Structure formats: C-alpha cells, structure tokens
Chain A
Amino acid sequence: MFARLWNRIWERAPRQLRFTRAGKVLVAIALAAGLAAMNTGNNLLFFGWGMVLSAIVVSGVLSEATLRILHGRAALPSQARVAEVTHVPLMVHNVSRHMPAYAVELSAEVRLADGTTQAAAPYQLRIAPGAESALYAQFVPMKRGRCDIVHIIAKTAYPFGFFEKSRRLRAPDALYFWCFPRAIDVSALAQTVAARLGEVSVPQVGAGDDFFSLRPFRDGDDLRRIHWRRSARSGRLVVIETESQSGRELVLELCLSQDPAVHPEATEHAIATLGSLAEELIGRGFRVGIRAAGTYVGPQGGARQRWEILSALAKLDAAKPLPVVHFAATMARVALVGEGALAPAGTDVVLPMAPWVVT
C-alpha cells in the first residue's frame, strides 16, 4: 500500500530523478570511498570522496538550472491513427539570456485509451540562449479514442550523465485529440463495392464519357479532343468537354453483435475496416456516409467528410445500438456485418467480416 502511495506521489512530483547505471556506480563508489575515508582517516581519500559528493550535488544543481530556463508548449497533431507514427508538435524556448541549455530531451506525456505513453521528441544537443525550437514528439497509439496531452516533460542528464532529471514544463489545458482507427488495406473490398453499385455522371467537367460543353482550344489541350466539325464551322479550334464520372451516394452500415463472447479485437477490426473502406470510397469519388453504433454521418464527399467519418469512428462506443435513420431512395446501403451480427433489412450490399481468430 505504501509503495503504491509513494508511486502516486512520485509520479505527480514536479521533478523526477532517475539514476542512470553510471549514477548507481558512482553512488556505490561514493559510499565505499566515504566508508574507507572515515575508517582509515586518510585525508587524501577525503578529497576524492568530497569530489564525488560535490559532483553529485553540482550535477543536481546544473540539471535543475538547465530545466528551469526552458518553457514549452504543445500543439495538436495533424492526425493520429492506430499503429501509425503520430507527431505532436512541441515548441521549446530557452528563456535565459546567457545560458545555453545542453542535452535536453523533450517529450509529451499522452494519456491514451489504453494507458499513458511518452511521445519523445528529438534530442537537443544545445538550445542557444533566447532560442526557440520547434520539435515533433513521436509516438504510436495502439487504440483508437481520445488522447490527452497531459504534460510536456523536459528531461536532461546534463552535466555528467549520472542522473536523469525531468521536469513537467506545463500542463496544457484540455489539449486533446482523437486517434482514428487503424488503416487497413481494403482496396479489394472497395473495388467490389464500386463494381456492385456502379458509377454515375456528375454535372461537372471531368473524364467521363457524356458530353458536357464546348470551349475554345487552349495550349496544352489534348488534340484528340478537338471537335473538328464545329471548328471548321466557326473558323477557330474548339474542344469538347465531357462530364465527370463519380460514384454514387452510399451509407456504410456497421452491424456489430452485442454478444460478449465476440472478441474486442474483432470489433475494433470491423470499425477499422469501415473507416478504411469509407476513406477508399471517398477517394474513388463516392459520397459516403456511415451508420454505426450510436453514430450517423450523412453522405458527403471530399477530405472534410473523410475527417468527419474517422473522427466519428474514433469516438464510437460499440456498445450503443444503431441509430434510426430514414434513407433517401437514391442512397445505396452497404452493410459490414461483424461476427455474430445480422445485416439490417434493405441493404444493397452485405459484406460479412471474416471470423476473428486470436493468434
């Protein structure tokens, strides 16, 4: 109990000190030398002993001085995804006018859905007085969900490498982001869905087959697109423009079993598959929405929609039921059916997930 209490107090301390292996050796030497000096009364041994003890004290003072002159800030990463390297931007500022900071390691303490991790930024050999450095702390989240940047931690073993002192520079206020589900290669699955649902013409210029309009020839236009008959009639070169081909509007539905026997990893895999499929289909020009446990995102296209869907999946609580939604007749419905679940009525395409095998 006391050990646990001590650990809790220690973890919350603004400064933490850790002995390196060399530090442990030095402390052992200091103890032995002190014992020998006191026992033998050899004055010169007192000198050596004093030097070791002084080095320990000076080491603590200097590392503290190094950490005190550093101010740090964190910003949100552009994107975080399960099993991918996430970059947390950190800014570190040496506020001292004269003293450089040596041998500093910055990290962000990130609270994840499955625990806390340290996102380490590159080692800084020297931060000049008054200088500000922009760094990226890296970590790899292994579970989707909310990630809180709890602390920015500056760590140094300067000057001697005997001890590693760390200091929490600042606790950011409510600085958090969402970790998206894992990216999975679903190109084959997306191909199947695209083939089943087909593509439709969109009233905008594109690379489809249907006529859109005519316009004067410009440098760089493909010569094969010149409409020769109209050009001959008008006396100047005219090219033909075609409509864009695009995917249809569809909603991906995730059907999960509430059976506790279903392995949680299977559920996560299904969510990751849904997210990746939505990304892939948006990339192919489809207007994609999702309907999953307690979540509905209406069909849209583009990068913004990709972000919305992945954010919704990051926040998804798989225990909730599917929301009730009235689908327009033009919307196609694609159901990803997890292990032990049933596809809802009226779905156009049913994609059963393979049974999850624990390895």
Chain B
Amino acid sequence: MSLRFAHELGFALAMSLALLSVLLGGELPTELWGAMAAPWLAMLLRRHDLAASTPLGTVMALAAFVWGGLIAIEQGLDASLVAAAIALVGILVARLMTRRTPSHDLQALVLSLLLVFAGTVLHQQFTYGLVFVFYAVTVTWALVTRQLVEGAALEGWRRGDASFDQALARRDVVTPTFFAVTAGVAVVILLATSLLFVLFPRVGLGGLGLQGRNSGRLPTSVSLLGVPRAVQGGSQVVARLRGVSYRTFLQGLYLRGSIYDHLDAAGFSQSNTLGTLRPTRLALAPTREQARYEVYLQPVTDQVLLSLGPVVEAQVQSGGYANPSARARLIGVGPTGELLSMSPLTGPMRYSIFGGLAAPRATMVAEVLTPAPAVLDAALAAHFLALPDKVDPRIAPLAQQLAGSLPTLAGRAEALRKYLLTGFTYSLDQPNAGTADPLAAFLFDDRRGHCEYFATAFAVLLRAVGVPSRVVGGYQGGTWDAKGEVVVFTGANAHAWVEWYAPGVGWFVDDATPAADGATLSGMGALLERLRRVWDDEVVDYGLDQQLELLNGMVGSFQHASALSTDRLNWRPLAGGLGALLALVFGWYVSRHSEARPRARLAPFTRSLVAALERLAGAPLPPPLTLREAVQRLSASLPPSQVATLQAALAIYEARRFAPGGAVAPSSAAAADRQLMQALRRLRGVGAAPTIGAW
C-alpha cells in the first residue's frame, strides 16, 4: 500500500467516525448526515490533486455558522451545543473540501477531535463507545501517516524536486509491521485511556452541566399531525426497570409520565391550571398490586420521574445530572400522582419506588360497581369534561349512542374502549395529514391511526358521555431481558393512553389502543441490550461511588489475600514462580543490554577481527567506534606486520560490508579467509599494546 493511499484511507475513516460520533446521537438535524460523504469526496479530490476554492470553503463554513446560530436563537441556550456542533461539522466539511497540504489535514484532525468531544454530550449511547474505539485506532493511523507525509513534503520543499511524489508513492513504508506498530500504539492509548477513566477521581463540582440532549424527550402535547411519538422516540433505551416480575410484565406495564389534561382544537396539551383543583381529586386510584422496583431513566422529561402507578415511597439512588457523582433530589409526588425531581434532569437517573402498579386490568375490578354521578364537582367538570367548540358535531351523538345509557363509569369506558379496539386499526401512517379535523377523520373516515389518535378519541368520547378524562404520555410494554430480569423501554415504546376519573376513588388507567404484546429479548438483541446496559451502568453512570467501591474492593481483597496467605497458602510455589519470572526479566534485560549481543550476529570473519582488536587493546570495542577507526587507533602502537594483518582483514570486511548489494564472500575465498582468521587469532598484544580505555 502506498503511503499516500494509506494516509488518505486512514484520514477518511477517522473523519467519518468523528462525524458519526455526533450524528448517531440523533440530536443534530438529519440533513447533516450528508456530511458523511465529505471525507470520501475529499479523498477522491486529493487523488486527482484537486480541492475546492478557499472562498467556497469560507461560504460553507459561514453557512454552517448561520445554521447553528439560527437553531440557537430558535431553541435557546439548551441547544447551544447542538448549534456549536453544527458549526463544527460545517467547518470540518469546508476544511475537508479545501485541504491541500498536510497542515490542512492536521487542522481537520483537530476539528474531528473537537467533534468527538461534542459527541460526549450529544451521543451518550453505547454506539458512542464503539465509534470512539474505532476513532482512536483510525486517528492514530491518520496522524502517523500524516506525520510521514508532512516530513516528505518538507523534504520536497527543501530539495525542490520530485522527491515528495516519490515519497508518497513509496510502498515500503506502510508495511504489515507499520500496521502492527500503529495498532499496538492505538491499543496502548486505549488501555491508558481506560486506566485514566477508571482511576481519575471524580471530584468535580459539576457546576457547568452541558446541555444538549433533545431527542427522545417526551412531547409536551399530543399531536395528531406530527410524527408519532413511537417513531420520534427512536430506538434508544430510555428506561430500564428492575424488580418487576415476568408475570407482571406479561400483563402490561405503563410507565407513566406527562399528563395532558387541556383539550382544545389542536388536541390535548399540558395546562397550568391544575393547581386550582384539589389534589385529592387528581391522584390515581389505589391499586391492588404493589411492588418495589428500580428505574434507570434517561433525561427524557424535565422534572417528572416515570413510575408504574401511585407512588408510596421513593428514593434517588444516583444521577440526575450530567455529573454522575452528583445526585438529584426529589420534591415529592405532584398533584396528578407523578414523582417530581427538584431540578430538570440533565443526565441519567437511578431511583427506586415502592408503589402501586396502575394498568387497565385493575380498572375493571375496582370500578365496576361505581355508578355514574349525576353531578360532578363544578371545577373538576369544567376542566376534565370540557370539549372545544370546534369539535365535530358527530362525536357527541356517537358517544351517547355507544355508552350514554350505561349506568356505571366503568361500563361507559368499557363500551367506548371496545368500540375503538374492535373497529379501528393501529397504524403509524398519517392518513389524515392535511385534513382540517384529523380526529373526526380518524373516527368517521379512515378508522386507523397511532396511539395519539386512539387516546385522543377515547378521552373525547369519555368526556362526551360525562366521564372526566385526560391523556397520559409515557412508555408502554417494553421488552423483557431474562438475564437480570430487566424490562427495557426504548423510544419506540413511547405511548399515549387515557386516565378517567371516578369520584371518591381517583383516576384509573385505561387504554383503547390495540396493545402490542410484551416481547422477550433474545439473540443479538439481547446481546446488544446487555452491552448497552454495561455501557450505561459502568461507563456513563461511573462516578465517585463506584470508585470508592473499587478502592474498598481492592483493599478488601488485599486483606483477604493476606489472611489466606498466612493461614493456608503455601509460599514455596509462589516464591518459586516469582523467582522464575524475575530471572526471565533479568535474562531479557541482560541480553538486551549486553555488549556481546551485537557480536552474536556477526559473521565468523568479522568476529575474528573484532576479537583480535579487543585482544590487542585489552578492552571491549565500544559500539560507536567503527572497525576502521579501531584499526587506525591501534596502528600507531603495533608492529608493522600486525598492522598489515589488520589492514588486510579490514579491507575484506569493508568490501563485504559496504559493497553494493551486500556482496557475499565467494566460496573460492574461503581458504584465504581461513588463513587470515588464523593470522588474526595469532595476534597478541606485544610491545606497547594499548591498555584498557585506549578506545
């Protein structure tokens, strides 16, 4: 492989991985994926010695700046890092397109490093770890080859000839040894990185939490025209539950989040007027099933901590901030029964809850005998029975027709749920996009839609028959991982359902969306999830607590080992093994640093000459001294006959050592060699032979 190709390939790979490190996070606009073509296009351009003009590059970079600036203005400070990353991607692409010299390559590599740093905030998933490892390998490769290319360029500039092109075309530089050395360097860097990661004390203040994550957050409204929340959420893990039995999982889990209580022409959204209502009338109804479970939650909500039902007791274990060593605090349970954090989440959080498991199955059992009240509390009715003026006039008669005559709330809810479950189909398509009233189109025309349609329709129909209702956003179902008995919720499990109110009892969870059965992880999916879990638990969530645990563990194991050694262990084999290891290391060191080492590789003839010289001088030949210099130094103090012998031997040695192509002694000269070697062996220090230190 030529040096040029090796450099270009490593460079393009490193650039692509740097771009992936931010793009895979899903925070940046999808249009930026186009930047992935830039490294390869730049490689193609470089192959033909082409580059975009500098003004074009400047325009590209400025456009990226403007784009990022507009996003920062539009979304506020929270998006500052996203804006910076967009600008950075733009500058990188501009640099890639306009690069001409190895210095430009270095600038691009530094920019790529900054992108990887940005990725630490914008992309905290397991894939970042993979990208990071490959980036470390390829950036090492690219940096080393760039250094060689720059040296060749410098030499070409000095000599002003075609040596640069010749150097780039060389195929003896990037050899398997080169790859082995580079890979070794990358591995050493990664090991050192891991060591530093594990050992560096997490004693930071955590004062400046970088904001960046926006994707996967629960929406603040139930949109009938936007992207379905199950699609919007993506495939990233948002929560993990431990402590829930498999039986409970099979019955269906509803991880409850935001409450959408206000209905207007645009659909359900969150209102600010809940404080005017008495909290007891907003809380969930008590459930028969209760459990203690642990939740690992990504920052998909501001302050609401997801739970499976009414919370009796809760405790934060760790997290909540970007700094995993910091721990968020709880305010308590909010008016609608949700658990609240004191500050908005900026990092993954781990907390445990003891409380009820609210799910549609419990609704029927507890509420079947509750009669529909003649008159509701006025404030409650005004808030939770309100229907906007522009609601389709066919909806109320339909609701009355389906459930208006039924005496109990549960009966009405059941009738309406059955209507939706049996007559409608679930679809992530948007058949009603562009229609003036998507809800009416769903109920009367298309009869298919996603969970937000089902939840909105169910809540509206309930209100139309006098049952107070609200829509709830969260995650439903999940997947079961038998190893560790963990329920995993991803963005694809995002769901919206309904809660309706029974006076004197509370709010019941109900769901008219055709539910997907809970799946069990297996095969590659399970492996991937376990890797993700290790990443989240051991890397993203690694903090001072884990470091102290590690330290305690080390100290403990040392103490344990000491106790074992004094009581039971036989020291002899251990000492023998240690001694053998030390002997091996010592032997390696001696062979490495011994003066005799180079001599072992000498040809017999040269060995005789070196031995004669050392014998005459009475001292070993120091490595920097050439044989010619040694002979010259000794000649002054030796008789002419000995000098002649040495000169003859030196002439043969030099002819063989420095002849073009490394000439080998012909077989006919073997006899002469032997005679000369015998003469060399006979040389003894006579007369004024130099002493030790003569060299």
Q: Which residues of A contact B (CB under 8 A)?
A: 22, 25-26, 29, 33, 36-55, 57-58, 62, 71, 73, 95, 97-100, 102-103, 105, 120, 122-123, 125-126, 128, 157-161, 170
With A and B bound together, what is the CA distance between A135 and B628 in angstroms?
Answer: 19
7 smallest CB-CB distances across A and B, nearest first, come from A41-B323, A44-B120, A54-B192, A50-B193, A50-B196, A38-B204, A123-B155
The answer to whether A26 touches B110, judged by C-beta atoms less than 8 angstroms apart, is yes
Instruction: Give the shortest distance, in Å, between B187 (CB) and chain A (any CB).
Output: 10
Instruction: Give the shortest distance, in Å, between B321 (CB) and chain A (any CB).
Output: 7
Q: Which of A45, A105, A126 contacts B173 (CB 8 A)?
A: A126
The answer to whether B324 touches A157, judged by C-beta atoms less than 8 angstroms apart, is no
Is B114 engaged at the interface, CB distance under 8 Å to the other chain? yes
Q: In the complex where A51-B189, A100-B177 touch, is A22 in contact with B204 (Cβ < 8 A)?
A: no
The answer to whether A39 touches B208, judged by C-beta atoms less than 8 angstroms apart, is yes
The answer to whether B197 touches A50, judged by C-beta atoms less than 8 angstroms apart, is yes
The answer to whether B196 touches A42, judged by C-beta atoms less than 8 angstroms apart, is no
Q: Which of B106, B132, B204 contacts A161 (CB 8 A)?
A: B106
How does the 8 Å CB contact mask read for B526-542 relative to A, with 1 for contact and 0 for none? 00000000000001111
Q: Which residues of B contact A (CB under 8 A)?
A: 3, 106, 110, 113-114, 116-117, 119-121, 124, 128, 132, 136, 140, 143-144, 146-148, 150-152, 154-155, 158-159, 167, 170, 172-173, 177-178, 181-182, 185, 188-190, 192-197, 200, 202-210, 321-326, 539-543, 598, 601, 623-624, 626
The answer to whether B193 touches A29, judged by C-beta atoms less than 8 angstroms apart, is no
Q: Which residues of B contact A47 (CB under 8 A)?
A: 120, 132, 193, 197, 539
Q: Which of A41, A54, A105 contacts B193 (CB 8 A)?
A: A54
With A and B bound together, what is the CA distance between A48 and B181 in angstroms?
Answer: 22
With A and B bound together, what is the CA distance between A278 and B365 in angstroms?
Answer: 123
With A and B bound together, what is the CA distance between A343 and B120 in angstroms?
Answer: 85
Q: In the complex where A48-B116, A161-B146 touch, is A54 in contact with B189 (Cβ < 8 A)?
A: yes
Having A42-B210, A51-B193, one finds 11 other A-B pairs with CB under 8 Å, namely A26-B110, A38-B205, A39-B206, A41-B325, A42-B323, A43-B542, A47-B197, A48-B117, A57-B192, A58-B192, A125-B151
With A and B bound together, what is the CA distance between A261 and B541 in angstroms?
Answer: 81
Q: Which of B114, B120, B144 contacts A29 (CB 8 A)?
A: B114
The residue of chain B having its C-beta at the shortest distance from the C-beta of A37 within the complex is: B204
Q: Which residues of B contact A97 (CB under 8 A)?
A: 601
Q: Which residues of B contact A122 (CB under 8 A)?
A: 155, 158-159
Q: Which residues of B contact A22 (CB under 8 A)?
A: 106, 110
Instruction: Give the shortest distance, in Å, between A39 (CB) and chain B (any CB).
Output: 5
The answer to whether A159 touches B147, judged by C-beta atoms less than 8 angstroms apart, is yes
The residue of chain B having its C-beta at the shortest distance from the C-beta of A129 within the complex is: B177
Q: Which residues of A contact B188 (CB under 8 A)?
A: 54, 58
With A and B bound together, what is the CA distance between A71 and B623 in angstroms?
Answer: 9
Q: Which of B144, B178, B190, B206 contacts A41 (CB 8 A)?
A: B206
Q: Which residues of B contact A103 (CB under 8 A)?
A: 147-148, 151
Q: Which residues of B contact A98 (CB under 8 A)?
A: 177
Q: Which of A33, A48, A50, A125 contacts B194 (CB 8 A)?
A: A50
The answer to whether B110 touches A25, judged by C-beta atoms less than 8 angstroms apart, is yes
Q: Which of B144, B192, B197 contacts A158 (CB 8 A)?
A: B144
Instruction: Give the shortest distance, in Å, between A57 (CB) and chain B (any CB).
Output: 7
The answer to whether B143 touches A43, judged by C-beta atoms less than 8 angstroms apart, is no
Q: Which residues of A contact B185 (CB under 8 A)?
A: 58, 62, 159
Count CB-based A-B contacts (< 8 Å): 168
Interface centre among B120, B136, B626 (most CB of A within 10 A): B120
Interface centre among A26, A46, A71 (most CB of B within 10 A): A46
The answer to whether A159 touches B144, judged by C-beta atoms less than 8 angstroms apart, is yes
Q: In the complex where A50-B197, A58-B192, A158-B144 touch, is A39 in contact with B205 (Cβ < 8 A)?
A: yes
Q: In the complex where A51-B136, A125-B167 touch, is A45 in contact with B117 (Cβ < 8 A)?
A: yes
With A and B bound together, what is the CA distance between A352 and B125 in angstroms?
Answer: 87
- Please name 22 pairs of A and B residues whose Cβ atoms are closer than 8 Å in the assembled complex, sorted by A: A26-B110, A29-B113, A33-B117, A36-B210, A38-B205, A41-B202, A41-B321, A43-B541, A44-B121, A44-B128, A44-B132, A47-B120, A50-B193, A58-B185, A62-B185, A97-B601, A123-B158, A125-B173, A157-B147, A157-B150, A158-B147, A161-B147
Q: In the complex where A40-B210, A41-B321 touch, is A160 in contact with B147 (Cβ < 8 A)?
A: yes
Instruction: Give the shortest distance, in Å, between A22 (CB) and chain B (any CB).
Output: 5
With A and B bound together, what is the CA distance between A39 and B200 in angstroms?
Answer: 13
Q: Which of B124, B144, B147, B200 contacts A44 (CB 8 A)?
A: B124
The answer to whether B151 touches A123, judged by C-beta atoms less than 8 angstroms apart, is yes
Q: Which of B206, B208, B598 contacts A95 (CB 8 A)?
A: B598
The answer to whether B197 touches A40, judged by C-beta atoms less than 8 angstroms apart, is no
With A and B bound together, what is the CA distance between A25 and B140 in angstroms?
Answer: 17
The answer to whether B110 touches A29, judged by C-beta atoms less than 8 angstroms apart, is yes
Q: In the complex where A50-B192, A50-B196, A55-B189 touch, is A99 in contact with B181 (Cβ < 8 A)?
A: yes
Q: Which residues of A contact B208 (CB under 8 A)?
A: 36, 39-40
With A and B bound together, what is the CA distance between A97 and B539 in angstroms?
Answer: 41
The residue of chain A having its C-beta at the shortest distance from the C-beta of B150 within the complex is: A161
The residue of chain B having its C-beta at the shortest distance from the C-beta of A49 within the complex is: B196
The answer to whether A123 touches B322, judged by C-beta atoms less than 8 angstroms apart, is no
Q: Which residues of B contact A123 (CB under 8 A)?
A: 151-152, 154-155, 158
The residue of chain B having its C-beta at the shortest distance from the C-beta of A44 within the complex is: B120
Q: Which residues of A contact B159 (CB under 8 A)?
A: 122
Instruction: Give the shortest distance, in Å, between B540 (CB) and chain A (any CB).
Output: 6
Interface centre among B146, B154, B204, B539 (most CB of A within 10 A): B204
Q: In the complex where A103-B151, A161-B147 touch, is A40 in contact with B209 (Cβ < 8 A)?
A: yes
Q: Which residues of B contact A102 (CB under 8 A)?
A: 144, 147-148, 173
Q: Which residues of A contact B173 (CB under 8 A)?
A: 102, 125-126
With A and B bound together, what is the CA distance between A42 and B206 in angstroms?
Answer: 8
Instruction: Give the shortest distance, in Å, between A136 (CB) and chain B (any CB).
Output: 12
Instruction: Give the shortest distance, in Å, between B309 (CB) and chain A (any CB).
Output: 32
With A and B bound together, what is the CA distance between A48 and B202 in angstroms?
Answer: 15
The answer to whether B540 touches A44, judged by C-beta atoms less than 8 angstroms apart, is yes
With A and B bound together, what is the CA distance between A54 and B539 in angstroms?
Answer: 18
The residue of chain A having its C-beta at the shortest distance from the C-beta of B121 within the complex is: A42
With A and B bound together, what is the CA distance between A122 and B164 in angstroms?
Answer: 12
The residue of chain A having its C-beta at the shortest distance from the C-beta of B114 within the complex is: A29
Instruction: Give the shortest distance, in Å, between A316 (CB) and chain B (any CB).
Output: 30
Q: Which residues of A contact B152 (CB under 8 A)?
A: 123, 125
The residue of chain B having its C-beta at the shortest distance from the C-beta of A159 within the complex is: B144
The residue of chain A having its C-beta at the shortest distance from the C-beta of B181 within the complex is: A99
Instruction: Give the shortest distance, in Å, between A2 (CB) and chain B (any CB).
Output: 33
The answer to whether B189 touches A58, judged by C-beta atoms less than 8 angstroms apart, is yes
With A and B bound together, what is the CA distance between A45 and B197 in angstroms?
Answer: 9
With A and B bound together, what is the CA distance between A100 and B3 in angstroms?
Answer: 15
Q: Which residues of A contact B321 (CB under 8 A)?
A: 41
The answer to whether B626 touches A73, judged by C-beta atoms less than 8 angstroms apart, is yes
Instruction: Give the shortest distance, in Å, between A27 (CB) and chain B (any CB).
Output: 12
With A and B bound together, what is the CA distance between A98 and B175 in angstroms?
Answer: 13
Instruction: Give the shortest distance, in Å, between B150 (CB) and chain A (any CB).
Output: 6
The residue of chain B having its C-beta at the shortest distance from the C-beta of A55 within the complex is: B189
With A and B bound together, what is the CA distance between A25 and B147 in angstroms?
Answer: 16
Q: Which residues of B contact A25 (CB under 8 A)?
A: 110
